[in-house]
Amino acid sequence: MQLLYGVVGEGMGHATRSRVVIEHLLARGHGIRVVVSGRAHKYLSDVFRDRENIDVHAIEGFSLAIDGEGVDLSETILSNLELLPARLRRNLATYSRIVETGFTPQAVVSDFESWAWCYGLNHRLPVVSIDNMHVLDRCAHPERIADPSDPDFVLARAAVKVKLPGAYHYLVTSFFFPPVRKRRTTLVPPILRPEVVRAVREPGEHVIVYQTAATNERLVPLLQRLPGPFVVYGMDRRGAEGNVTFRPFSETGFLDDLRTARACIATGGFSLMSEAVHLGVPLLAVPLDGQFEQELNCRWLARLGYGRWTPSLEEGGVRRFLEDLPRFEECLRDYPRQGNEVVLSCLDELLDCIAADVDAPDRVQTPNLGAYPAQG
């Protein structure tokens, strides 16, 4: 089958997860055209360079303006509006290049990416959505997790709802298990890099810290007042200052530090949170301001006992988190760990349905889902 695969470029989590799925699709003999924006374009271009049956095309996507410890909403809106005309021209040029090659996809797969969805809509192709964001809209959450009167939740859910409406089916990746409330939706485990699936947990003494905003000047002094070694990624620094060691990002090095950490301090990003939970690493999560999806992840993390969350990093909160590590470790031992077999077999089943020209199922029926707890 010929497939158009869209990957949103904001953050690298979508790209690393999509790599796993694309590798599987290529192994199954599918031909693929990938459209992707941002840093994710270079990553996927390098990964699939010189591979057969796949081309990777750059598109222009939506970007977030990060200010300090959160999202600057006004700057995000202004910058994206300013760049909109040029982005539209470039995306139309990409559209023309794909059409001119004679590529005629039979279906679209989208990791929260709208360009490919628009292509599918325009050509009346079925779209399979694979992402974690639709947990906001297509699952039911307790009021303590997501109050339906909370304007932040209402806005976030509405934004997700209009992103890829009317898809053939939604595969929603999640490490927590709210009941599914909409048809054509299946909850599946997180997509993990093969290196994470193979990793062995060997807890040591250090705490790994992932900091996305290099301008956070409070972080290092705060860590230096706390006991034990800290390994910090994301601050664009090297070397050590007392008990704080700075490291440049490396997929291999970061994973090794994560699997051997006694705990992790990070934002509420889904990819890292999923990897920490899978490896059994307690997590103190600090969601970016203005990112309700991250706050939702954090609230579920705390509810399940896998760690704690806080709107801002404070010395007392970190100390209490570190004191409670045994309790979090005990809860994490019960997490239903899975590889990628569930989501990949679900996708295979959906593509078989599309090839057979049958209606989308309300829930995917692959036997692998029997090991996964939440399809209510």
pLDDT for residue 325 is more than 50: yes
Q: Is 314 left (phi over 0), alpha (psi -120 to 50) or beta?
A: beta
Q: Are residues 343 and 292 in the same domain?
A: no
What's the burial of 50, exposed, middle or buried (CB within 10 Å: 0-12/13-18/19+)? Answer: exposed
Pairing state between β 239-241 and 307-309: unpaired
Say if residues 231 and 247 touch (Cβ distance below 8 Å): yes
Q: Are residues 146 and 210 in the same domain?
A: no
The candidate with the shortest Cα–Cα distance to 38, out of 7, 17, 80, is 7
* 194-223 residue pLDDT tens: 999 999 999 999 999 998 665 577 899 999
Give me the phi and psi of 374, to 5 degrees please. -125, 105
Q: Residue 25: what residue type?
A: L
pLDDT for residue 184 is more than 70: yes
Instruction: Report the 10 Å Cβ neighbour count for 53.
Output: 13
Instruction: Report the 10 Å Cβ neighbour count for 28.
Output: 12
Q: Are residues 187 and 201 in the same domain?
A: no
- H-helix or E-strand containing 194? helix 194-198
Q: Are residues 25 and 160 in the same domain?
A: yes
Q: Are residues 107 and 210 in the same domain?
A: no
Q: Are residues 27 and 56 in the same domain?
A: yes
Which residue segment(s) compose the domain that 171 sits in?
2-194+339-371
Q: Are residues 61 and 111 in the same domain?
A: yes
Say if residues 271 and 297 touch (Cβ distance below 8 Å): no
Contacts of 83 (CB under 8 A, 6+ apart): 60
The candidate with the shortest Cα–Cα distance to 376, out of 130, 190, 144, 181, is 181
Average pLDDT over residues 30-48: 91
d(CA 99, CA 92): 11
d(CA 100, CA 47): 24
Q: Are residues 199 and 102 in the same domain?
A: no
Domain count, the chain: 2
* 49-59 residue pLDDT tens: 999 999 998 88
* 208-262 residue pLDDT tens: 999 866 557 789 999 999 988 999 998 888 999 999 999 998 889 999 999 999 9
Q: What is the CATH number of the domain that holds 185?
A: 3.40.50.2000
Q: Are residues 279 and 356 in the same domain?
A: no
Pairing state between β 185-188 and 66-67: unpaired
Q: Are residues 242 and 222 in the same domain?
A: yes
* Domain assignment present for 54: yes
Q: Are residues 259 and 327 in the same domain?
A: yes
Q: Are residues 220 and 292 in the same domain?
A: yes
pLDDT for residue 369 is more than 80: no
Say if residues 264 and 284 touch (Cβ distance below 8 Å): yes
pTM value surpassing 0.85 = yes
Express as a percent the part of the chain with pLDDT over 70.
85
* Domain assignment present for 23: yes
* Domain assignment present for 376: no
